[in-house]
Structure 1
Amino acid sequence: MDRALADLLAAGILAVPGVAGLHAGRYGEVALLYPRHRVNGLRRTPSALEVHLVVDLARPRPLAEVAAKVRDVVAQWLDVPVDVHFADAAGGAA
């Protein structure tokens, strides 16, 4: 996957209601790497594309709905299985 497509996917995923961000993993290991650029929260495996999300608690949505919409975004450009991981949450009351 080229850098432009990765950036396009990330932007589309971030526009999904209920998504606060893309999660890079505890040590930054979840990312697509390009020269002088990285796209956090996406990781390509031999069998799928992993998408690691931060859930937006300020705009709550059922997680199954969020995952389905993320898969729809990816399906617009790639024909691969998509594994959606809910890695963190943000935007809730403290």
Structure 2
Amino acid sequence: MSNYLIFRGASGAGYSYMPLSRAPLLKGRSGNYVLARAGDSGWEIVSAGEAPDLGTAPWPDPAADEMVLIRFNVSRSAREAELADLVGGAEGGAQQGLRATG
């Protein structure tokens, strides 16, 4: 897996997420997070959220085939808009993700 995964929102915009395990210091940093599962055709969002402080966010408990990924977003309005775009693009509760190339 590369350092980032790109998830497409309903608008077609791509959002780069990094695995929580590779994230730098989180305390005081705001952003979005997804719980994703690897599928046959890419990564699917199981659940998603946003937090004003990722260092204190209550992370979902990932299953063996799942992973928590994060994306830093300072602006509350940007976090909320991104979350709405990602969730709005979900069909049947899952959003297909594309692997990043870098």
Q: Same fold (TM over 0.5)?
A: no
TM-score for both structures, normalised by structure 1? 0.36
Higher helix share goes to which structure? 1
- Give the structure, 1 or 2, with the largest relative contact order (CA under 8 Å, sep 6 or more): 2
TM-score for both structures, normalised by structure 2? 0.34
